[in-house]
Structure 1
């Protein structure tokens, strides 16, 4: 009986050892196989990180270049501003006062310069066109303007042909409206145009225009 038990253990122990070794080998294989897969995955991730790092380095270099360019532009702008400030501080020579002997000449020259900016009124040419004496800046020469309307315009600061020629239609209508409903029949749309022809001395054109338009209407 003892001999038989020994025979059983002789073949059972190696079998158990083999099974245990097989299980350990399987587990060790799975363990090492998993580790090698993880190593490959980590390598891919490291490669991506390196690529991202290289891109960031390139972007940083570009940013540094932009900063350098910006600094240069600021320096150029500061230099330009300094030149402008220096130029504005240049003292202009004071005008030389005219001598006593030249005082009258200077006054005449100033008066001539002032009158040259305005067109000269030619009364003879106006009389030849209208067949009557024409007074300068007579607003009644404009077709549609009578003595009362002329007074209204002068009360509102429009006293000359030039001022009337520069007045807009809205302004003319507002002045008319101050007179009440009795002036609603008047149409001031052509008055600045007629006043401009008066101011510029275009008498023949004005006469022709007034003959072709009834009551000064465009």
Structure 2
């Protein structure tokens, strides 16, 4: 028996088996391929986005109307806007029931996406309460994050004011549901 012929077969047999497996794998994969239709989900998300955009536009309209009223009526109208707001008392029992843990008043870490370091950055920037965070624009939230350096670029504060408003208004069930439906504050 010639060893050079045997050496060729040691290479040729695994090579042929590999080629045949690749061909069969390709044919099996190609035969099972199906097209996934996500158009219904896409339409649902587009409708949801349109509703949220309409809500945002309505809020901006109210804000503009309030600013115009303050400009027309001067300090009297501005004082009327601020005195109509009453502080909402914090309901710790409802918070614990909905969130499943003890919640401290104005703890910014309750907001999905805010941890201890980011909470400290907001407190240092003068945003110490849920109400203050709820009244902070997303661009101002981003400025606070930008002040922390590159390590905070991955965070998206788009939902933080909305979540803080839910906290301030004791809408704990709604907040818990929203956080369950979103992955780390993202859709």
Q: TM-score, normalised by structure 1?
A: 0.47
Structure in which a larger fraction of residues adopt helix: 1
- Mapped partners of 1:174, 1:206: distance in 2: 25
- How far did 1:130 drift? 1.2
Which residue is 1:125 aligned to? 94
Which residue is 1:142 aligned to? 111
More relative contact order in 1 or in 2 (CA 8 Å, sep 6+)?
A: 2
- How far did 1:209 drift? 0.1
Return the index of the structure with the highest Cα Rg.
1
Of residues 124, 148, 152, the one that matches 1:183 is 152
Which residue is 2:183 aligned to? 214
Q: TM-score, normalised by structure 2?
A: 0.54
Within 5 A, what are the aligned runs for 1:89-108?
none
2:112 is the alignment partner of 1:165: no
- How far did 1:117 drift? 1.6
Stretches of structure 1 lacking an aligned partner (at least 5 in a row): 1-113
- How far did 1:135 drift? 0.1
- Cα-Cα RMSD: 1.3
Deviant stretches of 4+, over 6 Å: none
- How far did 1:131 drift? 1.4
- How far did 1:202 drift? 0.3
